[in-house]
Structure formats: structure tokens, C-alpha cells
Amino acid sequence: MVPLLRNYAVAGDVDDPLVARAFLTPPRRDRTAFQRDRDRVVQSRAFRRLAGKTQVFTSRSSDHFRSRLTHTIEVVQIAREVAIALGLNEDLAEALALVHDIGHPPFGHAGERALDACLKRHGLRFDHNLHALRIVEFFEQRYAVHRGLNLTLGVREGIVKHSRDYSVETHPELAEYFLDKRPPLEAQIIDLTDEIAYLTADLDDGVESGMLEIGDILDRVEIVRNAYRSVEEQHAGVDPKFLFHEALMLMQHRLTNDLIANTQMLMRLADLHTLEDIRDFPERLALFSRFVEVQRFEEKKYLYDALYTCDALEREHDKATEVVTRLFDYWIADPERLPAGYIEQMKTEAPARVVADYIAGMTDSYILGHFGQME
């Protein structure tokens, strides 16, 4: 049985302006517009490359650690659950979850920081959301009559606005994405479901790597400690590593339920009933409760202090910075070394932007191969 959409959900029917595409495409009876977007994203080269991009640990460390691709799949699972519970357009939420990380460069956030620092020297910036838009509108070349994936306006707006707001004063090129309005709830939930996924996964991978200890996590992270105690009461005597995994799943469930319940409560308090109500509301409505927000912040701080900035990962981050920076400077100094398509792109765009585009599309192993040829 297909769940009924609430009045505040994106309709997604043929009359919905959010299903408009830059290039006219005949509708399909077998798939909705957002299902077609989902399929286009999944079949794109940029999506496949997520398998070779770092989440926290490099893909060379262990086959068991998350990559950007497996992380994305976990976000999709949670986003669909939240969308169904809230009566949203599940197809749109799924498409946005699938595409939300497609603009990330190699080496995770370390690579992104390094690329941004390189561009700042040339008066530019790197923003993975805006780079994702460039990918789906320009870099993917799969069709005979146009560049890009020709995604719906609703998905493109969600790519831009799912995790932050932009102003038309600073980004006039984004004016078509309703910058004076809040994004639909289908887009608002993506940033929070992303957090739920990585807060769970990074603890799991941290313990798997040996960089985090279960006992230390239980001492310092209340939300995990509470979940662990609940699991331990039901499964006394079980190996702690299995209890810990069960506790992480329970924590994920509690975070997801809190997001659903608090979003519903905020909408009731604000007396919002339609999509336009949500778009015109001055703040985002997909939020954790204050109590859970405190616990979430505690866990994020713990991960930052104990994992993301630990010596082993800092060495990886330093290497990532070196690789990205040296290759950026290498191609800036001699752009003729770039592939022909990027040389052609320099006729209309700054060399620094073109070099950044080339690097951002690389997997970890591909950029390391280029770096090895330099040395």
C-alpha cells in the first residue's frame, strides 16, 4: 500500500513545478519524476566514484570501513524511514539522500579543506553542495542532446539547500532555487539523517579500527551509554562488542524517532499545514529536540576529540593536504597537462576553478596515482 502524502509534502505530480526539468522529457507511466531522478543519480559515474572516496578512514585501510558510497546508502535507509513517518514524498527524499554527497572530493573533509584553501588563494571557494550541482548540470555527460543529468527542479533545489541556506546577494547564480524560502521538509531531513548515519557509523568504524575503545565511549558519551545499558539488561553475559553494536542500532533508532517526533511537534506548535507554510516559515523545522541536541553535540565533540583529530588520522589528513595542494599547484603551473575537456573548459572559466573541478572528481586511489607520477 502506497502511503498517502500529507498536504505539506511535495506532490511530485505532473502539475507540480518542482518536477520541471531544464530539457523537456516525456513523462513515464511506470516511474514518478523523482524515481527517474533517483535512477539517473545511481547510474551516474560520479555516484559510482563514491565507492573510492574516503568517509573517515581511507578505503585502503580495511574493506569493512565505510566509504562515501556505503555511507550514502545508510543515509538513504534513514531518510526513507523519516519521510514515510512524516508523510513526505519518499521518492524525493530518497533521490536527495542518494545525491547529497556526490560533490565531495577525495580524502573526505581533509581533501575538501585542502581544495578550498587552494581556491582561496585565487579568490574562489570550494563548496561540495555547489560542486554537486555542477556535476549533475554539467560534468555528467550521458545524453545525446544535453549535458548533465537533467534532474528535476526539486532535486536540484535540494542539492543546493539541504544543509545550508544561500542568499541571492552572494549567490545570484542560484536565484532559481527559491533562496528567499525554506526548502521542503524532504530536503530539510537530509542533513539530519546524514548526521544520524555518521554518528552511528563513525563510532562503529572507530572501534573496528582500534582507535576507539568501547569502555571509553561509554564513559564519555551519554546517549551511547544509555543505549548500551538498555541492551545489556536484555542480553546479560553477551560479548561487549555485540552489545555495543546493538547499542549503536538502538541509538540510531532513538535519534530517528526523536527527529520524527520533534519535527511533528514543531509543525503543530507553528500551526503549519501546507508546503507553502513550511517554505514561508522563518526557520527550518526538521530538528532534534533540545534534550537530544545536547546529547548529539556531546557525541560529535567526542568523535572530534578522540577520533577525527587523533594522531593517526591527522597524519592521513596531512598527507591528503599535501597531495591535493601539490597537484593543484602542478596543474595551475602548466594547465596543458590537464585532459583535453578541462583545457577546453578554461575558455569560459578560471583555471583555478577548472583544476579544482578535475581534482574534486577523483577517487582516493586515482589522485594518489597522479601524485606518485609526480614524485
What is the domain partition of the chain in residue ranges? 17-374
Quick one: pLDDT at residue 29? 82
pLDDT digits (tens, 9 = 90+) for 105-143: 999 999 999 999 999 999 999 999 999 999 999 999 989
pLDDT digits (tens, 9 = 90+) for 158-199: 999 999 999 999 999 999 999 999 999 999 999 999 999 999
| Section 340-359 average pLDDT | 96
Is the predicted pLDDT of residue 374 greater than 90, yes or no? Answer: no
The pTM of the full predicted model, rounded to 2 decimals, is 0.95
Quick one: pLDDT at residue 375? 62
pLDDT digits (tens, 9 = 90+) for 253-301: 999 999 999 999 999 999 999 999 999 999 999 999 999 999 999 999 9
Q: Which region among 66-70, 142-146, 294-298 has the lowest average model confidence (pLDDT)?
A: 142-146
Q: Does residue 87 contact residue 4 with C-beta atoms inside 8 Å?
A: yes
Interatomic CA distance for residues 205 and 291, integer angstroms? 26
pLDDT digits (tens, 9 = 90+) for 312-342: 999 999 999 999 999 999 999 999 999 999 9
Is the predicted pLDDT of residue 59 greater than 60, yes or no? Answer: no
- 17-374, superfamily in CATH? Hypothetical protein af1432 (1.10.3210.10)
Quick one: pLDDT at residue 26? 83
Q: Where residue 1 falls among pLDDT bands split at 50, 70, 90? A: very low
Q: Where residue 57 falls among pLDDT bands split at 50, 70, 90? A: confident
| Section 33-55 average pLDDT | 96
218 or 144, higher pLDDT: 218
Q: Where residue 61 falls among pLDDT bands split at 50, 70, 90? A: low
